[in-house]
Amino acid sequence: MAVTEQENYHQGQPHSSDMKLASPRQKRFSASFFITFFIMFGLWLVLSGRPDLFHISLGIISCFIVSFFSADLLLPSPQLKKMPGLWFRFIRYIPWLLYQVFIANIHVMYLVFHPRMMDVIDPRIMKFKSRLTSDMSLVTLANSITLTPGTITVYISIYGDVTFHVIDIESGKTLPWIMEARIAEVFDE
């Protein structure tokens, strides 16, 4: 039941038109099923912390059920080929993001403790048009902009129109464009 719904959903997606529809049996036990299963099982081992037979068998059963029904949510199977390179580039992106978040946090701390704060800040709403297209890269862009203090994403559309609120001009002048270039490099667009 769930599988047919997901197939309809994928047919509606524009970027998955090249995906040939596999039979349900092949689709259920695909590679994304096993990867989801191992991620879930690792999470179970960390969270339960009791490696005896009873808890491990419970974990295997529940991880099997979860990944049986929702493997396609975590890893959509048409994009599975590009995944390892994407994860590698994403992990390389994270330290740069943390560094930027740290710098911008220091900037906001300076603004907060400034004695004449009302003169220094200049909040306004800015817009720009992004050239990213896929859903994941747009979500990553929005979350990165929000995570960097000084800028908050107000609205983002699937066509790439980004509206964001800045606390003062200099924090919104350059950073979203650099960030967009980095994310385009990560998601290979």
Partner 1 sequence: MNIIVTIFLICGLIFFFGGAVGIIRFPDFYSRLHPAGKLDTMGLLMTMLAMALYSLHDFCVASVLTSLKIILIVVFVFITSPTATHAIVDAGVRAGLEPWTKE
The reply to whether 154 sits near partner 1 by the rule CB under 8 A is yes
The reply to whether 181 sits near partner 1 by the rule CB under 8 A is no
Q: How many CB atoms lie within 10 A of CB 189?
A: 11
Give the one residue of 102, 128, 177, 178 binding partner 1; rule: CB under 8 A.
Answer: 102
Least distance (Å) between residue 149 CB and partner 1: 4
What's phi and psi for 133, nearest 5 deg? -120, -40
Nearest to 35 by CA among 89, 2, 1, 72: 72
Least distance (Å) between residue 171 CB and partner 1: 9
* Strand blocks (E) in the chain: 124-129, 151-156, 161-166
Least distance (Å) between residue 178 CB and partner 1: 18
Cβ 134 vs Cβ 84: under 8 Å: no
The reply to whether 153 sits near partner 1 by the rule CB under 8 A is yes
CA distance 126 to 163: 6
Least distance (Å) between residue 8 CB and partner 1: 27
Counting DSSP H helices and E strands in the chain, the numbers are: 9, 3
Nearer to partner 1, 40 or 142 (CB): 142
Binding footprint of partner 1 on the chain (CB under 8 A): 46-47, 49, 101-102, 104-105, 108-109, 111-113, 117-118, 121-125, 142-143, 146-150, 152-155, 165, 167
